[in-house]
Amino acid sequence: MTVLKITRLYLFMFAVLQALPRFAVQEGVSCNVCHVDPNGGSLRNDYGITVASLELSKSQGNNRIESYSGIINEYLRVGGDIRLLNYNTNDDGQLQSALFPMQADIAAFLNVNENVGVFAVQDLLRGQNEMWLLWTGFPLNGYVKAGKDLPAYGLNVDDHTSFIRGGNVRKKGLQYEGLVFSPYLSSPGLVEIGLNIGNFNFSQSIANQFINGSSGGGFGEYIHEKAFTTRLEWWPVLGQINGFIGGSILQQGLIQFNGMFGGISMGKLTWTGAVDIAEEYLSTGTVLASFSEFNYNLKNGLNLQVKYDFFDEDIDTSGSSINRITFGAEFFPIPFVEIRCQARYTDVTGNSVALKPEYLLMIHTWF
């Protein structure tokens, strides 16, 4: 039964696997082209500012907005992300609503010289932070990154409630409803090396223990107890079709994560998805998490999306899974502003009580 379930999910991945992460696939380039981090995410570079702000929005703004880059001087670049969420649900005919900040990060990148830079980001809401040194200029477009950061595992989507990342903070019926990568996770000390050869990207890192509790400085750990992460990506382009496929393995002691991810963009339609299997991660057994998202660019500045999340806390048994389907729209009215509206419907296997739909309105701004 277990092998059959896994096989079906992997066949599904390859049947539609032609998309991921969304904006990178649409542009036909790797995530590191838009960000100062070689793994993508967080602070954007010049190209990332142009794509994420000017090319996405309905209005291009004035000359000052068009010329914004985040560069303070020849050495320093700054930026940040702020997200505000309005959460609504219907409880016995009464609408319950909550308004709260989801993200408030500020980041900076200091160019020490042509090949060496220092990155730092502070999460103002949760007190978490990252800081690392990046050394580039090696053969095969290689780099070395050292400091405090999460290993480059899996598909790094911007919704931390996706089950392939952190999942539900407030549980809907299971003991666990997501992987370890929540915004409350403290980044460990890490050393990573990487190569970027054409449209192939490879990285290998070693980090202090961070799953099921951080080890702090990690001085009491043996080498075999640390977290080893291997990642490989391929970004093929065939005519007007942009693709992306990759995989990653994370081993920390007896805990092992194995994941596949990928995507495809054809015209106005983009798909991204991922499947992860975790062994010895939870007391419930072998964990499976998956993510699939379709996006359609209705017109400039307006995207429609359908997303499906699935999580099984023990694939060796039945009756312990949760799935969620999300319908939504993203509107970029002006540069540096995103408005996202979503309706989410969640079902827990074996739960006799139907869960209430959730309605979300999120405002995201960045600089």
Hey, where are the domains in the chain?
13-366
For residue 15, the model assigns a pLDDT of 35
Q: pLDDT, tens digit, for every residue of 194-249?
A: 999 989 999 999 999 999 765 566 777 889 899 999 999 999 998 889 999 999 99
CB 187 within 8 A of CB 167: no
**Where on the phi/psi map is residue 364: left (φ > 0), alpha (ψ -120 to 50), or beta?**
beta
| Low-confidence winner among 79-93, 100-114, 239-253, 302-316 (lowest mean pLDDT) | 79-93
Residue 7 backbone dihedrals phi, psi, to 5 degrees: -60, -45
Q: Is the pLDDT of residue 11 over 70?
A: no
**Alpha-helical runs (H) found in the chain:** 2-16, 22-27, 46-49, 63-66
Structure confidence at residue 115 (pLDDT) = 95
Q: Which fold has domain 13-366?
A: Porin (2.40.160)
Give the residue, 357 or 44, on which the prediction is more confident.
357
SS3 191: strand
Q: What is the pLDDT of residue 35?
A: 77
Map tokens 């194995």 to a residue: 258
Query: Is the model more confident about 32 or about 299?
Result: 299
Mean pLDDT of 341-358: 88
Q: Check whether 352 has a pLDDT greater than 90.
A: no
Inform me whether the pLDDT recorded for 265 exceeds 80: yes
What are the start-end ranges of the E strands in 139-210? 142-148, 189-197, 200-207
| Least confident range of 20-29, 129-138, 304-313 | 20-29
Least confident interval from 54-63, 154-163, 251-260, 350-359: 54-63
Helix (H, G, I), strand (E, B) or coil at 52: helix
Tens of pLDDT along 107-136? 999 999 999 999 999 999 988 899 999 999
pLDDT (0 to 100) of residue 239: 87
Residue 5's pLDDT band, with cuts at 50, 70 and 90, is: very low
- Distance between the two ends of the chain, CA-based, in angstroms? 49
